[in-house]
């Protein structure tokens, strides 16, 4: 299964709903899809992982690359919609200490928008 991202703007926040697996075969595709969409004007980003069945270490690294691009004080980033399995992967690897994880898209958009 390939990776796909559906984009929309909500209250000044770019939201990407991801579908597929972000494994070693698709991590660069995921990163290219995100990079291809982002502009310098995008200062708020939420990636919704509800449609992601699996995230490998390569996928986590790709997420970290995106998070680092939003590390400046005027830029905000978060992810949401992780399945329990993917949340456990993030937790065991310690990536949940590096990337802000929200339960739902609505909570994520609100938090990223308000900060």
Model confidence pLDDT, tens digit, residues 15-27 = 999 999 999 999 9
DSSP assignment of 43-102 = -EEEEEEEEEEEE-HHHHHHHHHHHHHT-STT-EEEEE---HHHHHHHHHHTGGGTS-EE
pLDDT above 90 for 33: yes
Say yes or no to pLDDT of 115 above 90: no
Kindly report the pTM of this predicted structure: 0.93
Neighbours of 4 (CB within 10 A): 15
| Distance in angstroms between the alpha carbons of the first and the last residue of the chain | 35
Summarize pLDDT for 46-104 with one digit per residue, the tens.
999 999 999 999 999 999 999 999 888 889 999 999 999 999 999 999 999 999 999 99
């Amino acid at each position: 299964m390939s990776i796909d991202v559906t984009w929309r703007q909500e209250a000044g926040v770019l939201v990407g709903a991801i579908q597929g697996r972000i494994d070693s075969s698709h991590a660069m595709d995921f990163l290219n899809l995100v990079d291809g969409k982002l502009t310098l004007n995008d200062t708020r980003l939420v990636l919704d992982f509800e449609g992601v069945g699996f995230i490998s270490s390569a996928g986590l690294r790709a997420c970290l690359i995106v998070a680092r691009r939003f590390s400046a004080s005027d830029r905000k980033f978060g992810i949401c919609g992780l399945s329990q399995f993917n949340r456990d992967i993030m937790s065991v690897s310690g990536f949940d200490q590096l990337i802000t994880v929200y339960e739902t898209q609505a909570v994520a958009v609100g938090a990223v928008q308000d900060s």
